[in-house]
Chains A and B, each alone.
Chain A
Amino acid sequence: MFEIPWNVIAMQFFFGIALGCIFVLLSSGMSIIFGLLDVVNFAHGTFAMLGAYAVFVVISLSGSFVVGLVSAVVIVGIIGMIVEFLFLKPLYGKDPLLPLLLTFGLSVAIPDLIKIIFGLIGKPVNYPEALSGTLMLGSVIIPGYRLFIILFTLVALISLWLFLKRSDLGMIIRASTRDSLMVQTLGINVSRIWTFGFGLGVGLAALAGAIAAPMMSATPDMGVDMTMTAFVVTVVGGLGSLGGAIVGGLLIGLVVAFTAFVAGEYSSVSMYFCMALILLVRPRGLFGEQGRE
């Protein structure tokens, strides 16, 4: 039996958490959209891809990575709201298959549009200068950018939690996910809440895409795998559950990281295996509500 050095295990754990943080951002957005609108967003990864391109454009113009990240959320969030208002809204209350088909169509059309605008070759997004080095924690190598991903995700999630728990708008959103008819009866324009909620969900996807962009460059087809990952994490965590998205994201990140170490060729399939296992034991996912499985 060969011995695995503890520092390698520690690094693997760290990489798994950092990867999981990207999954968390991605799937929180999907959970919000599903919880609020009951829409399975097949274009979720596509919006993440838009986030990567947005960060590329804004960095090219402003030179600032942080401005790029914030702009990516705002720009893609607005695009999401327009999409919801123009295309999704007319489909509410009709066949539930229709929004699914629409978002699937968007996942095909938007990358083609990006290819027309930006060309077939992907765009490099460089690591921000200040975060491009590595730190040594004993014999454990910690890349500065991965540490940033973890801390940034933590801040983003606390902000999101405070917004949803403490602000009026956040409470209305939460109430709408529970019973939109009741909220409507109280005189609140739920239709606007849905539009905002969709924008918030795809904005989080854009944040995931933007934060992942320096690790892989912005390419038109990068959204395909991201959509699949978002689905897996959302199902593992429980459809529509924000807490589930967080736990599910971190769990899948760790599963992928340790599988990559033990048997690299199975790292991609490990997340599906994990999903299947959890669905067998708990069909509604880790934090899913009964009746939503």
Chain B
Amino acid sequence: MQQFKRLGRIGLAMLLVGLISAGLLTAMPTQASAQQKTIKYGTMHPLTGAYAVLGRDQMRATEMAVEEWNAKGGVLGHKIIWVHRDDELKGNVAIRRAKELVEEEKCDFIGGTLSGSISLAMNEFACKTKTPYVAYCMSDMVLGSDQCEYGAAFMVVPYAASLAVAQYAFKNVGKKWFAITADYRWGHSLLEGWLWQSQQMGGQFLGNVYVPLGTTDFSTYYAKVLAAKPDFIVMNNLGADQTAAIKQASELGLTKNIKIFCTKTAQHTIKELGPAYNENVIGGMSFYYKLRDKYPGAKKFVDKFMKKYGAPPEQDGECGYVATNILFMAIEKAGTVSDKKKIMEAMQDIKYQLTKGPEYLRGCDRQRVQSYVLVKGKGAKAKGWDLADIVAEIPGDKIIMSCEDNAKKLPFINIKLPK
């Protein structure tokens, strides 16, 4: 009995010590936040599922940018608090998370996402709640009625990627082309871009197959491609779809005889493909880490990223890094952390040079005007992260339509997609 009483007293003492420690610990950040003013930035990335590797890079680059700003004292003396969520690359989840970020976490600014369609929903949400939103992905949000004064797009518009790759292909390879297109809005937008550029440069469109997302066997589509005898094949797909498509093209010997152009490709796709991504496979990217040999800003960014995370950043990471930086630069330029409208106005026509050459965020539609890079695979010669070489960098102003055209979705609205 005596022993039980002693144990009880010890337990009570431990509980008290625990409570006091917990109280002290929780009080610490409160005191710190009382001393320093803060702003809150919330981002969303697909951290689970097939595109988790890209989502992770977006998250890492955002973290790096926030750390850099906080290291130099934050924005206008405000420490940046950054929170992030997994949107699972699902529209409904993304909207739920965005509400969480704005209504519960009280984020002043939101950003991220990897899907164009999710970015459209986010843009709409940003307009309703008047919360500035910086999109990290290829998005049509600057086109037509989707434009909103609280949204800014930092990856190229989908059609711009097509124009860049098509200009190179028609000039350097041939005129006859066949497309394999992922059957959803993003794929269709890319195909529209190709068809328009083909008309401008005298290309000969031989045909297209729409392929459902998540297709693993592409060989069944190649019989049609082979029968058409194109000069090159266009891949309007991404991720696992692109991996399977190129793998099976190599199985049929297509990568030995025909050039393949991927309108958008990714570093990890090239790595996954190994020798199949050879010198006949050319892919488009808004950023490839070898730009560090050309631009000091790219070198600084890539070296720091590699040192911190052990691998070079994907284009999606670079986009997140630039978007985060521009958001904070706009806050500084506006001289306010609370007047959201003024901050968005400050973002317009903002000029900067961060990871590539001189760039700007276009005033009329808040679209980042940036170059698009074409890389050629190294196939069996690839080693470590030395996977591809840059063959061209198409300037941003050559692949973007005017704001007036974008507002009317011209000229692509007049393009009739094949059935």
Interface of B is mostly: helix
User: B212, B226, B271: which contacts A269 (Cβ < 8 A)?
Assistant: B212
Within the complex, what minimum Cβ distance (angstroms) separates B179 from chain A? 11
Q: Which residues of A contact B224 (CB under 8 A)?
A: 8, 261
Cβ proximity bits A134-148 to B, threshold 8 Å, 1 near / 0 not: 100000010101100
Which residues of chain B in 213-230 are interfacial with respect to chain A, using CB atoms and an 8 Å cutoff? 214-217, 219-221, 223-224, 226-227
With A126-B275, A264-B209, A265-B212 in contact, do A221 and B49 touch (Cβ < 8 Å)?
A: yes
Q: Are A143 and B252 in contact (CB under 8 A)?
A: yes
- Interface segment, A80-88, A99-107, A117-125, A163-171? A117-125
Q: Are A267 and B220 in contact (CB under 8 A)?
A: yes
With A5-B227, A143-B251, A221-B49 in contact, do A16 and B240 touch (Cβ < 8 Å)?
A: no
Q: Are A122 and B214 in contact (CB under 8 A)?
A: no
Q: Are A215 and B212 in contact (CB under 8 A)?
A: no
Q: Are A120 and B53 in contact (CB under 8 A)?
A: yes
- The answer to whether the Cβ of B368 comes within 8 Å of any Cβ in the partner chain is no
Q: Nearest B residue to A131 by beta-carbon distance?
A: B251
Q: Nearest B residue to A218 by beta-carbon distance?
A: B272
- The answer to whether the Cβ of A204 comes within 8 Å of any Cβ in the partner chain is no
A113 to B272, alpha carbons, bound, how many Å? 19
Q: Are A143 and B219 in contact (CB under 8 A)?
A: yes
Q: Nearest A residue to B226 by beta-carbon distance?
A: A141
User: A134, A146, A215: which contacts B216 (Cβ < 8 A)?
Assistant: A215
Within the complex, what minimum Cβ distance (angstroms) separates B244 from chain A? 4
User: A8, A124, A269: which contacts B227 (Cβ < 8 A)?
Assistant: A8
With A214-B247, A264-B211 in contact, do A121 and B220 touch (Cβ < 8 Å)?
A: no
Q: Which residues of B contact A126 (CB under 8 A)?
A: 274-276
Q: How many A-B residue pairs have CB under 8 A?
A: 121
User: A15, A124, A222, A268: which contacts B273 (Cβ < 8 A)?
Assistant: A124
Q: Nearest A residue to B268 by beta-carbon distance?
A: A121
Q: Which residues of A contact B220 (CB under 8 A)?
A: 12, 15-16, 19, 256-257, 260-261, 267
Q: Are B247 and A219 in contact (CB under 8 A)?
A: no
Q: Nearest A residue to B56 by beta-carbon distance?
A: A120
Within the complex, what minimum Cβ distance (angstroms) separates A249 from chain B? 13
- The answer to whether the Cβ of B105 comes within 8 Å of any Cβ in the partner chain is no
Q: Are A268 and B214 in contact (CB under 8 A)?
A: yes
- The answer to whether the Cβ of B243 comes within 8 Å of any Cβ in the partner chain is yes
A18 to B217, alpha carbons, bound, how many Å? 10
- The answer to whether the Cβ of A175 comes within 8 Å of any Cβ in the partner chain is no
Q: Are B52 and A124 in contact (CB under 8 A)?
A: no
Q: Which residues of B contact A222 (CB under 8 A)?
A: 216, 240
Cβ proximity bits A214-237 to B, threshold 8 Å, 1 near / 0 not: 111101011001000000000000
Cβ proximity bits B226-247 to A, threshold 8 Å, 1 near / 0 not: 1100000000000010011001
- The answer to whether the Cβ of B50 comes within 8 Å of any Cβ in the partner chain is yes
Q: Are A215 and B209 in contact (CB under 8 A)?
A: no
Chain B residues with a Cβ closer than 8 Å to the other chain, count: 37
- The answer to whether the Cβ of A11 comes within 8 Å of any Cβ in the partner chain is yes
- The answer to whether the Cβ of A212 comes within 8 Å of any Cβ in the partner chain is yes
Q: Are A219 and B217 in contact (CB under 8 A)?
A: no
Q: Are B217 and A217 in contact (CB under 8 A)?
A: no
Q: Which residues of A contact B240 (CB under 8 A)?
A: 122, 216, 219, 221-222
User: B53, B221, B272: which contacts A217 (Cβ < 8 A)?
Assistant: B272
A260 to B215, alpha carbons, bound, how many Å? 10
Q: Which residues of B contact A146 (CB under 8 A)?
A: 219, 251
Q: Which residues of B contact A63 (CB under 8 A)?
A: none
- The answer to whether the Cβ of B405 comes within 8 Å of any Cβ in the partner chain is no
Q: Are A215 and B214 in contact (CB under 8 A)?
A: no
Q: Which residues of A contact B223 (CB under 8 A)?
A: 8, 11-12, 15, 261
- The answer to whether the Cβ of A132 comes within 8 Å of any Cβ in the partner chain is yes
- The answer to whether the Cβ of B253 comes within 8 Å of any Cβ in the partner chain is yes
Q: Which residues of B contact A214 (CB under 8 A)?
A: 247, 251
Which residues of chain A in 194-227 are interfacial with respect to chain B, using CB atoms and an 8 Å cutoff? 212, 214-217, 219, 221-222, 225
A293 to B297, alpha carbons, bound, how many Å? 64
Q: Which residues of B contact A215 (CB under 8 A)?
A: 216-217, 219, 244, 247-248, 251
With A225-B214, A260-B220 in contact, do A216 and B252 touch (Cβ < 8 Å)?
A: no
Cβ proximity bits A17-45 to B, threshold 8 Å, 1 near / 0 not: 01100000000000000000000000000
Q: Are B212 and A133 in contact (CB under 8 A)?
A: no
User: B56, B183, B252: which contacts A134 (Cβ < 8 A)?
Assistant: B252
A124 to B268, alpha carbons, bound, how many Å? 11
Counting from the closest, the 10 A-B pairs by CB-CB distance are A124-B274, A260-B220, A265-B210, A120-B53, A264-B209, A268-B212, A216-B244, A122-B272, A257-B220, A11-B223
Extra contacts besides A124-B273, A261-B220, A265-B183 (15): CB < 8 Å: A11-B226, A12-B223, A121-B272, A123-B272, A124-B271, A215-B251, A216-B243, A216-B244, A219-B240, A260-B220, A260-B221, A264-B211, A267-B212, A267-B215, A268-B214
15 A-B contacts (beta carbon < 8 Å):
A11-B223, A18-B219, A19-B217, A115-B52, A126-B274, A126-B275, A133-B253, A214-B251, A215-B216, A216-B247, A261-B220, A261-B221, A264-B210, A265-B212, A267-B212
State the B residues within 8 Å of A (CB): 49-50, 52-53, 56, 183, 209-212, 214-217, 219-221, 223-224, 226-227, 240, 243-244, 247-248, 250-253, 268, 271-276
